[in-house]
Amino acid sequence: MLAKVRSSAVKGIDAHMLEIEIDVSRRANPDVIVVGLPDTCVKESRERVRTALQNAGYDFPWNSKVTINLAPADVKKEGPFYDLPIAMGILTATEQVVDSLFEEYAVVGELALEGKVRAVKGALSMAMTCKAQGLKGLVLPKDNAAEAAVVQGLEIIPVATLEEAVGFFNDQSTIRPHKLDLSATFKRAASYDLDFADVKGQEHAKRALTVAAAGGHNILMIGPPGSGKTMLARRLPTILPELTLDESLETTRIHSIAGLLSAGAALLATRPFRSPHHTISNAGLVGGGAFPRPGEISLAHNGVLFLDELPEFDRKTLEVLRQPLEDGMVTIGRAAASITYPAEIMLVASMNPCPCGFHGHPRKRCTCAGPRVIAGYLSRVSGPLLDRIDIHIEVPAVMYADISARAEGDSSAKMREVVVRTRKTQADRFRGDKILINARMGSRQLKKHCVLEGEAEETLKSAMDSLALSGRAYTRILKLARTIADIEGEQAIDAAHVSEAIQYRSLDRGINA
């Protein structure tokens, strides 16, 4: 007998529909065959399904040939997503389950050997595709129910065991579709544990981070160990605008596909903060593998990618960041597939001013062997990568008076108000363009929105001459000055805005200059 079960699979951050066909016929040579470009994990599903059916008390057609076809046959299938639909197909083909609902519901899930249904990756994307295809519902593991229920207008049927799935399709169970109050869930999850009010001192760095967040500028912090660079970076997401629902859905899909969404979690409602170790590989940073997976830069989508101790990263690994920082996406090409992942991030990096970390420290002596060693250390980060970082600031050692002060600094909520107001100004300015923030301005927008006159122009000209600034520094300073003017609510860029922007180019001016 032939049975057909609808299912879904993930490619990139999107999902597509599959049809699983199971034919059970009596043959002289009983066997179980899986066809349709399955990978090793899919081929092994026949053993998981066979054992799970037996342990759950269902009959397996031992004396028959079972042919399992995963259609379309020209698309590579990978992962344990198909265990449950294969099991349901075999039970249907052997008349242990009725097939009246399989046209309306898709099925996904991994089976444990005792018949329990385990969570799968990418449930949110699958649910979105099922709704787009006009299906009534999706039967999936209980641990994925909250995530999939984000998609309104689709019945999400959570099952914890094979028996529950059989009971649903045989109309013998009382499983209710999982419901989710989307707005309440989003609001409840949209809170941070960190706050800038906890940071003592470093007012200059806080101001620079506010400018960076307001204009979407990448930032590099340079300072000795213990000056608070990591502490500052970890709090940057708390002053970025709150995630919109669309941003949350896209970010959640990426984390779901990577298997990083907690069991029972519905949505990521806070901006991600990713801080990979400096030993990370190219594939770990931008994504890759035989079947491409998202890397850290995509996991930080709509949030912050923090690279601590930047010169310690492999130079070739850092170079692969250049194109994604420009394009806001990563395309990974393989023989099996070509996948594009979003990567709209703010890059935040930190480094010491020298190998020992104490060059220019007011109380500790630098032990590095001269300026050449320091210059060699700084040159580990290439010019083209620095070209994509608008702000380089020095973060000095914190003084006792700052640490012991009882007064709190500005809170994240107060800093965020400035950022949100400034971003709205930019959104209004760039209405009709394909950009939303000053950091993304091209030459056309620069000429239109960054006109300098009088003292402002003289200030920048003087800095260019005296500091021997490059053309790229000129462009970055204009963008920063535009953001600073927006923060102050000014239409025109004046000399004070330009002067502050110049101060945010430490590497162009020379550290401790």
Residue range 349-376, pLDDT digits in tens: 999 999 998 888 888 889 888 888 988 8
Give the global pTM: 0.90
State the residue for tokens 């990591």: 230
Across all residues in the chain, what is the average pLDDT? Answer: 90
pLDDT tens digit string along 181-207? 888 888 888 889 999 998 888 889 999
CA-based R_g, the chain, Å: 28
- The answer, yes or no, to whether residue 512 has pLDDT greater than 70, is no
Question: What CATH homologous superfamily does 189-433 map to?
Answer: P-loop containing nucleotide triphosphate hydrolases (3.40.50.300)
51-72 mean pLDDT: 93
Q: Where are the domains of the chain?
A: 2-180, 189-433, 441-513
State the residue for tokens 């006159």: 453
Residues 6+ apart with CB under 8 A from 453: 492
10 Å Cβ neighbour count for 387? 15
For domain 2-180, the question of CATH label 3.30.230.10 is answered with yes
- The answer, yes or no, to whether residue 379 has pLDDT greater than 90, is no
pLDDT tens digit string along 410-441? 899 999 999 999 999 999 999 988 889 999 99
Q: Which tokens in the block code for residue 63?
A: 């004396």
Name which of 71-85, 144-158, 270-284 the model is least confident about.
71-85
CATH topology of domain 441-513: Helicase, Ruva Protein; domain 3 (1.10.8)
**Per-residue pLDDT, 188:** 81
- The answer, yes or no, to whether residue 279 has pLDDT greater than 70, is yes
**Per-residue pLDDT, 407:** 67
Identify the helix (H) or strand (E) that includes residue 7.
strand 2-11
Taking alpha carbons only, the member of 142, 150, 139, 148 closest to residue 181 is 150
Identify the helix (H) or strand (E) that includes residue 281.
none
